[in-house]
Amino acid sequence: MSFLLRRTKRAVAGWYDSFDRPNEDPIQPPWQFWGDAASYALVGNRLRLAAEGAPARGGNANGGVAYEHQPLTENWGYEFVRAPIGTTSTSSSNETRQNVFMDKNWTEGGAASSTVFQVWLDLTADYDEDEDEEGNVKKSMTRYVQFRTREKTGSIWENRSIGSDTLSVAATAWAAALHIRVHVYEDRYMIGWINGSPELLLDVYDPNYRFGPRKRAANFAQVSGLVASIDDFKTYDLPGSPLRKNWISTFFDDFERTNSTTVGNGWTQFSGGNFGVYQGALSMNSPFAGSDGYRQIRRDAGTGDVRLEFVFGGGTGDFNLTARSAILGRMTADGRQGIAARVHEQVIQINGFTWGGAATAPTFEGPSVLINNPFGTALVKGHKFSFNISGDCAWIRNETLDRLTYFRDGINALASPSNTYVGAFITRYTFANSVPVNEIRVLV
C-alpha cells in the first residue's frame, strides 16, 4: 500500500506492507531481492529474510531484500517489527544477526551498488565463552540493536567509522517481537526508537555519509544464525524536523563582574551560600568552603519553548561524577519543577526534576536512558553547548563541534509548556564543586 500527498511544490510519500496475504515464494514486487530466490519468501504473513538452513545472505555474500520504493524528502523514516526469535537461554543456538543498510536501493544492482560510506542498523545476539584461571567456563549472551558506520576501504580492520550507538536488549525483550522505528532528519540526524522508546542517536556529521535523493532505502540482510522474519514494514516522508533552528536571543549573561555571592543581573537565586559570581562564572566561590548541596538561579523567559546556549569554564570546579551542574528549562516560577540538562563527567543528559527548594538534591525523573556520547564530543571547557526545548522534544547540541549529542521526546509529560522559567543548578559535594557556567544566552 502507498500514499502520495502534494503540499504546494513538496511531495510527501509513504508506503507500507502488512504482509497480510497468501504466501509468496519468492517474495513478489514491490519487494526485490538479490541472491538465492528461495531465501526470500512471504511465509505466514511475514517476510522471511533467509531460508532455514540456507547459507547466510541467501547463498550470496551480498544477498538481501529491499522494498523498491523509498522516501522523497530529507525528513524520512522506516519501521518494522522483527518477529519473535530464539529463546532467552544462553546458548550458541540462539546466535543471530541481521543488518539493515540505509543506502541506495540495492535492488538496482545488489550490494555492488552500495556507496563506499555506509550507515546501517545492526541487530545481533552473540554467544561467548570465557575460561578463567581455574578452568571454569563462563557463558554469556550479548543482545543489542546498534547504529553503525564504516568506510569500505582497505581491510575490514581498517574500515573508518564516524560513530555508532548501541542499546543492550534484555533476553526476554529480544526473544519477543521488537518494534524498530528509525527517523532521519535533514538527511543527517538519526533517531532510533525500540519498542516505542528513543534509544539510539547518530549524527551523520560527515557529508560523505549523509543521505539524499535515491539514497534513503532500507536494505535487509540476514547475516548469520537464526533466520529472522519481519512484519508491518513502513517507509515514509516526515512532515518536517523537530530540531527547530529559528531562535531569537533575548538575554545574555557572561558573569564578567566583581566576585559576589549576589548573582545579580535580574537572576533570582535560592538555597545555600558560598556561591554566586566567582572568577567570571556562575560558580561556588571557593575551592573548599561551603556546605554540600544544590544552589539555583532562575529567571522568566516568557515561553516554555526555549533555547539555552551555555559555556563551561572559569570559577572553581570541573566535570565530575559527584557534584553536577545543570541547565534548567520549563521551570515553574518557584524553581521547584522543570527539565534539566544534567552535566555528567563526559555527557549531558536530559531529565525532568522536582526539587524541595533546599540544599538537598532534586529528584530526577525519566527519561533516564543515556544515549551514548558520539565520537569526539567529550565535554570540554570553552565549548559552546545548547539545550533546546520545542514542542514535545528536547535535545542537546555541541555548537562548537556542530554535533547533536542527545535527543528525547515525550517532554510535555515531564514539564508543562506553560512553565516559562529558565536557570541553572550549581552544586557542591565532599571535596568537589560542580563545573562552573561561564556564560548563558536565552533564545526564544
The answer on 212 and 254 residing in a single domain is: no
More confident residue, 61 or 441: 441
The residue behind cell 560527515 is: 206
- Tens digits of per-residue pLDDT, 69-112? 999 999 999 999 999 999 999 999 999 999 999 998 887 766 66
Position 431 pLDDT exceeds 90? no
Position 26 pLDDT exceeds 50? yes
The answer on 259 and 117 residing in a single domain is: no
What's the pLDDT score for residue 370? 46
**CB-count exposure of residue 24 (10 Å: 0-12, 13-18, 19+):** middle
The answer on 160 and 109 residing in a single domain is: yes
Instruction: Say if 84 falls within a structural domain.
Output: yes
- Residues 38-62 as b/e (b if ≥16 CB within 10 A, e otherwise) read ebbbbeeebbbbbbeebbbbbebeb
Instruction: Say if 139 falls within a structural domain.
Output: yes
Q: Which of 237, 261, 281 is the last residue of a domain?
A: 237
What's the pLDDT score for residue 9? 46
The answer on 421 and 352 residing in a single domain is: yes
Using pLDDT thresholds of 50, 70 and 90, give the confidence band for residue 58: low
Using pLDDT thresholds of 50, 70 and 90, give the confidence band for residue 331: very high
Element (H, E) at 171: helix 171-175
Instruction: Say if 79 falls within a structural domain.
Output: yes
pTM: 0.91
Mean pLDDT for the stretch of residues 251-272:
94
Amino acid sitting at position 308: L
What is the C-alpha to C-alpha distance for residues 211 and 441, in angstroms, rounded to an integer? 33
The answer on 313 and 171 residing in a single domain is: no
Instruction: Say if 242 falls within a structural domain.
Output: no
What is the C-alpha to C-alpha distance for residues 142 and 144, in angstroms, rounded to an integer? 7
- Candidate from 264-268, 328-332, 405-409 with smallest mean pLDDT: 405-409
Return the CATH number at 80.
2.60.120.200
What is the C-alpha to C-alpha distance for residues 19 and 35, in angstroms, rounded to an integer? 21
The answer on 284 and 181 residing in a single domain is: no
Q: What is the number of structural domains in the chain?
A: 2
Mean pLDDT for the stretch of residues 231-258:
97
Instruction: Say if 243 falls within a structural domain.
Output: no
Position 368 pLDDT exceeds 70? no
The answer on 229 and 258 residing in a single domain is: no
What's the pLDDT score for residue 54? 60
Instruction: Say if 123 falls within a structural domain.
Output: yes
- Candidate from 2-16, 82-96, 232-246, 387-401 with smallest mean pLDDT: 2-16
Nearest residue to 360 (alpha-carbon basis) of 268, 281, 425, 284: 425
What's the pLDDT score for residue 247? 98
- Owning domain of residue 395: 249-443
The answer on 283 and 209 residing in a single domain is: no
What is the C-alpha to C-alpha distance for residues 60 and 69, in angstroms, rounded to an integer? 23
Give the contacts of 121 (CB within 8 A, at least 6 positions apart). 99, 100, 102, 145, 146, 147, 148, 180, 182, 192
Using pLDDT thresholds of 50, 70 and 90, give the confidence band for residue 52: low
Strands (E) across 254-335 are located at 268-270, 275-277, 282-284, 293-300, 306-312, 326-331
Q: In degrees to the nearest 10, what's the CA dihedral of 408, 411, 413, 419?
A: 160
What is the C-alpha to C-alpha distance for residues 115 and 20, in angstroms, rounded to an integer? 33
What's the pLDDT score for residue 8? 44
Position 289 pLDDT exceeds 80? no
What is the C-alpha to C-alpha distance for residues 377 and 351, in angstroms, rounded to an integer? 20
The answer on 404 and 269 residing in a single domain is: yes
The answer on 324 and 208 residing in a single domain is: no
Instruction: Say if 377 falls within a structural domain.
Output: yes
The answer on 253 and 220 residing in a single domain is: no
What is the C-alpha to C-alpha distance for residues 202 and 373, in angstroms, rounded to an integer? 9
Q: Which of 237, 264, 290 is the last residue of a domain?
A: 237
Position 133 pLDDT exceeds 80? no
C-alpha cell read off for 126: 552473540
The answer on 157 and 272 residing in a single domain is: no
Using pLDDT thresholds of 50, 70 and 90, give the confidence band for residue 59: low
Instruction: Say if 128 falls within a structural domain.
Output: yes
CA-based end-to-end distance of the chain:
41
Q: How many CA atoms lie within 13 A of 319 on its CB side?
A: 15
What's the pLDDT score for residue 153? 75
CA distances to 24, 309, 328 from 418, rounded to whole Å, are 53, 21, 15
CB-CB contact of 394 with 386 (8 Å): no
Return the CATH number at 347.
2.60.120.560
Q: How remote is the C-alpha of 321 from its chain's centroid?
A: 22
- Candidate from 132-141, 190-199, 413-422 with smallest mean pLDDT: 132-141
CA distances to 1, 34, 181 from 108, rounded to whole Å, are 21, 9, 24
Q: Which of 237, 271, 302 is the last residue of a domain?
A: 237
